[in-house]
Structure 1
Amino acid sequence: MGLIRSTIIKVFIILIIVFPVFISLKTVAETGAEAEPPIIPVLVYHRVISKVTSIYDFTPEQLEEHLKYIRDNGYTPITALQMVESMDNPEQLPSKPVVLTFDDGHKSHYSNVYPLLKKYGYQGTFFVYTDVIAEKSEKQLTWDELREMLQDGMDIQAHTKSHPYLTKISKHETEAAYQKRLTNELQASKLVIEEQLQEEVKLLAYPYGWFNQSIENVAFRAGYRGIFTVNWGTNLPSADCSRLKRRVMENKMTKEEFETILTARPLPIEIIYPEDAGIINKAPEIQFKIPGFATDKVEIKVRSLVAEIARNEDGVFVWSGLQKLTPGYYLIIVKGHDHENRPFINSWGFEYR
C-alpha cells in the first residue's frame, strides 16, 4: 500500500512539472514563435500649410488623413522623450506606439498642427532651432506659443542653433574653429530652450540628418540623452539612443507606403563596411550580412541609385555601385521581405570627405 501511494505521489509531482511545460510548448507551437518586441516608428513632418510648394509640405487635410489612419489602426502616439525614457522599460510602451515629430519651428505647427493633435488627443514632439525664433518672424513660432504647447503636453526639443549641415567644414575653417562652432550649435540651442521654457532639453534632431561619430561625441558632451537621425527604418526598444531612426514624410506617399513605414520591422544587418557614421575619403564597396534572415536577395538604395543584390557564397551582400562621390552624408538603405512577405528595412550612413 505504501509503495502504491509513493508511486502515485511521484506521478502527480511529474505531472505538475511537465504539464505546464507541455502547455507552454503547445502555445508556442500554435502561435509560431514568442511575441516579437514592439517596433517604434518615428515620423518627421515639416510645414503644414494650405498651399504646398515642396514635397515635404503637407496640407492640414493630408496630415489629418495620417492622424485618422493612426487612430483607426490602433496606434498610440507618444512623444520622443517618452520613447527614449521607456527604452530601459519597454513594458511601459503601448502595444503599437508611434512618434509624431515636427521640425524647424514653423508657425503652422502652432496654427495647424497643434489644434489637430489636440482634436485627436495626441501628443507630438517639436524640434526647434533657436536662431530662427530669435528673428521673431511671422512665419516662425514664438516662445509664448511654445510655452503654451509645452503646458498642454507637447514635447519641445532641440534642432541646433542655426540649422546647418553639421558635417560641413568651411573652406578656410581650422579644425579647432570647426569644433568650437559645432559645440556652440549643439550647446547654445539646448541652453536657450531651457532658459525660455524652464524645462530640461534631453533630445536632439540633426538638421538634414547629416552626422558622424565625432558629432555624436560632441552632442553627448553637451548633455543630450537621445539623438534622432533621418535614417530609414523603425526602432526596437533595444535601439542605440545615439542613432534613433526617423522617416521624413513626403506628401506624395501612398497609403500603402505609409502603412509600410509604420509596420516594417528592422532588418538585422551586420555591417562590414563602411562603418556606421564613419568618415571615409574613397568611394566604398558596401558589404554587410543579414544573419538569421531567410532571404538571398535584397534591395539597396543610396540616394538615387537602386539595385537588387544577392548574397555571395560567403553569405555576404556586396555592392560596388558607388563610383564618383561628392562630399556629404550618404544614407545606405536596405529592404527585404521574410517568408511571410512582411517588409523589413534598415539603414546606416557614412560621411564622404
Structure 2
Amino acid sequence: MKKSERYKIIILVFLLLALPFIMSSPKAISESFKPLLNDGPNITILNYHKVDNMKIALSVSPEEFEQQMSYLKSEGYTTISPKDLMDFMEFDKELPDKPLLITFDDGYVDNYLNAYPVMKKYGFTGTIFIVTDFISSDERFLTWDQVKELKENGFYIGSHTMQHIPMTDVNDEILRNELLGSAAALDYHLGKDDYFIAYPTGAYNSHVEKIVKECGYRAAFTIQYGNVNKASNPYALERIPIFKSDKTFRSFCLRVNLTSFFQRMGLIRS
C-alpha cells in the first residue's frame, strides 16, 4: 500500500472516531478543523433549488434555510458574485476573508418569497440561474418583475438555458440556441451583463464547455461536489449541494466546513 493511501486511511479513521464530537456542535466543526483548512483561498459555493415546505430532497424549509444563513453570518462569511469570483481567478482581485456564493438553480418563486427576505435580513446576496422560458409563464417560477427586483437589490441573475434541456443530449444547433436565446432574454429584460450559466441537470462535457465559451459565457457552474480555487476550470466550477435530510443542519455544517479538507486528502475531487 502506498504511503499516500495509508495516510488517507488514517485520516478517515480519525474522522470516524471524531464524528460524535464534530456533530455535537457546529462551532466545534469550524474550530477543530481550522488549522487543516487554512492553506489558501478556497471559495465556498452553495447550491440550492427550493426553499419551501415540500417533503422532497431539493426543498429546504424556510426555517432550515434561516438557521443556515444565521450560522454563515455568525461564522463571518461574506457573499460575493460570480463576477467577483472570476475577477479573483483571472485578475487576482482581492476577496473577503471568507467568500461565499449562494446559488439557486431553476428560478422557483419561493426563492423570492422565502429565501430573499431571509438573505436580506443577514446582509447576503445570491445568484439565481433561471430557465428563461419559464419566467412569467409558469406560476411555480419567478416573474420578470421579481427577477428585476432581485437584481436591483444585489442579486446576480444567470442562465439555466431556455428550456432546461440536458446539454449533452442535444445537437450543436439546439445547444447554441439554448445558450444564445437565454442570454438574449436576460439582455432584453435586465440589460447587458457578463454571462454565467449553471448546467441543467449538471450534464456537461468538454464539447459543451467549448460551445458555452464560444457563446460568450464567462464561466459555468456544475453540480460536481467541491470548493473552487484558482486551479478550478472556469467552465466546470464546483458547488456544494444543499439537500433536505433527517439532519439537514448537521449535514449542512459538515459540508461547509470539511469540503476543502476532503478535497486536499483526495477523498473527493481535488
TM over 0.5: yes
Q: Pairwise mapping of residues 78-157 of structure 1 onto structure 2 (< 5 A)?
A: 78-90=80-92, 92-135=94-137, 137-157=138-158
Note the alpha carbon deviations across 1:275-322, whole angstroms, 9 max, x for none. xxxxxxxxxxxxxxxxxx7x7xxxxxxxxxxxxxxxxxxxxxxxxxxx
* Percent pairwise identity: 32
Q: Distance in 2 between matches of 1:71 and 1:128?
A: 26
Cα gap change, 1:68 to 1:182, in 2 (>3 Å): same
Q: Distance in 2 between matches of 1:58 and 1:254?
A: 8
Point out the structure with the larger strand share: 1
Q: Distance in 2 between matches of 1:198 and 1:210?
A: 28
Classify the secondary structure of the residue corresponding to 1:150.
Answer: helix
Partner of 1:39: 42
Unaligned ranges ≥5, structure 1: 1-31, 170-177, 269-292, 296-333, 336-344, 348-353
Q: Pairwise mapping of residues 46-65 of structure 1 onto structure 2 (< 5 A)?
A: 46-49=49-52, 51-65=53-67
Shift of 1:116: 1.1
User: Which residue of 243, 254, 257 corresponds with 1:250?
Assistant: 243
Point out the structure with the larger helix share: 2
TM-score normalised by length of structure 1: 0.62
Note the alpha carbon deviations across 1:109-163, whole angstroms, 9 max, x for none. 111111111111111001001111152x222111111111111111111111100
Shift of 1:91: 5.4
Classify the secondary structure of the residue corresponding to 2:64.
Answer: helix
Shift of 1:78: 1.4
Q: Distance in 1 between matches of 2:186 and 2:93?
A: 31
Unaligned ranges ≥5, structure 2: 1-34
Cα gap change, 1:189 to 1:91, in 2 (>3 Å): closer
Q: Distance in 2 between matches of 1:111 and 1:219?
A: 31
Q: Distance in 2 between matches of 1:260 and 1:98?
A: 16
Classify the secondary structure of the residue corresponding to 2:184.
Answer: helix
Q: What is the aligned residue count?
A: 233
Partner of 1:261: 255
CA RMSD of aligned residues (A): 2.1
User: Which residue of 168, 192, 208 corresponds with 1:199?
Assistant: 192
* Paired residue type of 1:156: I
Cα gap change, 1:220 to 1:91, in 2 (>3 Å): closer
Shift of 1:244: 0.5
Classify the secondary structure of the residue corresponding to 1:86.
Answer: helix
Classify the secondary structure of the residue corresponding to 2:47.
Answer: strand
Cα gap change, 1:266 to 1:243, in 2 (>3 Å): farther
Q: Larger C-alpha radius of gyration, 1 or 2?
A: 1
Contact 1:56/1:250 (<8 A) preserved: yes
Cα gap change, 1:251 to 1:183, in 2 (>3 Å): same
Partner of 2:165: 164
TM-score normalised by length of structure 2: 0.80
Note the alpha carbon deviations across 1:93-119, whole angstroms, 9 max, x for none. 111111100111111111111111111
Shift of 1:88: 3.0
Contact 1:233/1:247 (<8 A) preserved: yes
Partner of 2:20: none
* Paired residue type of 1:223: G
